[in-house]
């Protein structure tokens, strides 16, 4: 009977995974098309211009971003239960799982909570990843607004790109507002009640767990606003530091830009990647979007693709490190842990 009850949910998961794999294939094909259009030799020339400094880009400033985002997660707990190095390693593993699996950038969140079980109750860990996901997304929305305001210095007010980003910011605001409101009203309990009404969930312990999670979220937002604010600030700082990576890559490529322009590029790139969350890593969508941003700013679409591929190389390095970290956790706790 248990297998029969779980089947609809498993079929739903399989459908989402299949959709994301299809989108990944489409994104990969589109990326190949973009590479051909720009020219492989042009892209290789950008890497040659960066030379040994690519090793610097791999580690800095992204290592600082990881620290800031881990601090953002740390303050999504109602109290400090885990040493910072452990929290950093768990986050690294969870984020790698997000990128490496077809789970719409969400599969790594419960993995983080599960890896913390020796130190943090599972319910409290799950609440923390929901809160951190909320604050990192809210801070990204705020960062986009800053980017739009600063873009007026490099783009005309009627520029199509500026209009598109303004509309994207409006859509994000509505979606984020709904997500926060749903948490206040009991997101998980309400979701399970809907599943129960559809005949997809009958286990009472699931509903009790959802009620506890909703209560933990509501209590945090009501009683720990100082920690909530710190979480937002650290995540926002992470987005800002990402602009430094854009600035350094372009300078190493021999294309000097101002910090303002770098921040606009990073704000728009982050928004594009967020909008393409169904595509693993935003593959293809991020490259195409960045090319449009660079073309609108006057730097050239090819430069946008080159910069994005340099960042992809850095991303792959950190994903590999995260997967190694995840493997170490599994060896320490047993293969059934993840």
pLDDT in tens, 57-116: 999 999 999 999 999 999 999 999 899 999 999 999 999 998 887 665 667 888 999 999
Q: Is residue 23 part of a domain?
A: no
Task: Answer yes or no: is 10 within a domain.
Answer: no
Residue 43 lies in a domain: no
The predicted structure's pLDDT at residue 167? 96
Neighbouring residues of 29: CB distance < 8 A, sequence distance ≥ 6? 284
Which of residues 108 and 46 earns the better pLDDT score? 46
| Residue 29 in domain | no
Q: Is the pLDDT of residue 202 over 80?
A: no
CB 11 within 8 A of CB 198: no
Alpha-helical runs (H) found in 39-159 = 40-50, 53-59, 62-74, 84-100, 108-115, 122-151
Least confident of 18-32, 47-61, 244-258, 305-319: 18-32
Instruction: Indicate whether 190 pLDDT > 60.
Output: no
Q: pLDDT at position 81, please? A: 85
Residue 24 has pLDDT above 80, yes or no: yes
pLDDT of residue 106: 66
Q: Confirm if 235 and 213 have CB atoms less than 8 A apart.
A: no
More confident position, 273 or 211: 273
Q: Is the pTM of this model over 0.85?
A: yes
Number of domains in the chain: 1
For residue 146 the two structure tokens come to 């800053």
Residue 34 resides in a domain: no
Mean of the per-residue pLDDT values for the chain? Answer: 87
In a domain, 82, yes or no: yes
CA–CA separation, 173 and 212 (whole Å): 27
What domain range includes position 315?
48-337
Q: What percent of the chain has pLDDT over 90?
A: 67
Q: What is the pLDDT of residue 4?
A: 37
| Mean pLDDT along residues 156-178 | 93
The two structure tokens encoding residue 314: 């850095």
The pLDDT-based confidence of 338 (bands split at 50, 70, 90) is low
Region 240-261: mean pLDDT is 97
Q: Is residue 288 scored above 60 in pLDDT?
A: yes
Is residue 225 situated within a structural domain?
yes
- What mean pLDDT is predicted for residues 229-249? 98
In a domain, 11, yes or no: no
């Amino acid at each position: 009977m248990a297998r029969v009850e779980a089947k609809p949910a498993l079929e739903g998961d399989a459908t989402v995974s299949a959709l994301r794999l299809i989108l990944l294939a489409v994104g990969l094909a589109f990326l190949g098309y973009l590479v051909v259009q720009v020219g492989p030799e042009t892209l290789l020339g950008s890497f040659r211009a960066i030379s040994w400094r690519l090793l610097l880009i791999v580690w800095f400033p992204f290592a600082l971003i990881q620290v800031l985002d881990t601090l953002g997660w740390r303050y999504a707990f109602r109290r400090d239960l885990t040493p910072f190095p452990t929290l950093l390693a768990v986050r690294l593993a969870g984020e790698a799982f997000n990128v490496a699996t077809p789970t719409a950038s969400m599969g790594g969140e419960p993995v983080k909570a599960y890896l913390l079980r020796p130190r943090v109750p599972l319910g409290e860990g799950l609440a923390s990843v929901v809160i951190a996901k909320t604050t990192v997304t809210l801070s990204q929305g705020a960062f986009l607004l800053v980017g739009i305001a600063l873009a007026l210095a490099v783009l005309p007010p009627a520029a199509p790109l500026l209009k598109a980003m303004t509309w994207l910011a409006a859509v994000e605001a509505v979606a984020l507002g709904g997500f926060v409101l749903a948490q206040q009203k009991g997101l998980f309990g309400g979701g399970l009640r809907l599943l129960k009404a559809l005949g997809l969930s009958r286990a009472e312990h699931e509903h009790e767990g959802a009620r506890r999670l909703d209560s933990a979220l509501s209590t945090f937002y009501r009683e720990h606003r100082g920690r909530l604010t710190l979480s937002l600030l650290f995540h926002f700082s992470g987005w800002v530091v990402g602009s430094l990576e854009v600035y350094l890559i372009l300078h190493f490529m021999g294309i000097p830009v101002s910090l303002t322009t770098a921040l606009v590029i990073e704000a728009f790139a982050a928004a594009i990647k967020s909008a393409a969350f169904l595509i693993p890593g935003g593959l293809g969508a991020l490259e195409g979007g960045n090319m449009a941003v660079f073309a609108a700013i006057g730097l050239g679409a090819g430069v946008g693709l080159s910069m994005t591929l340099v960042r992809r190389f850095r991303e792959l390095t950190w994903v590999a490190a995260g997967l190694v970290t995840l493997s170490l956790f599994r060896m320490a706790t047993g293969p059934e842990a993840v």
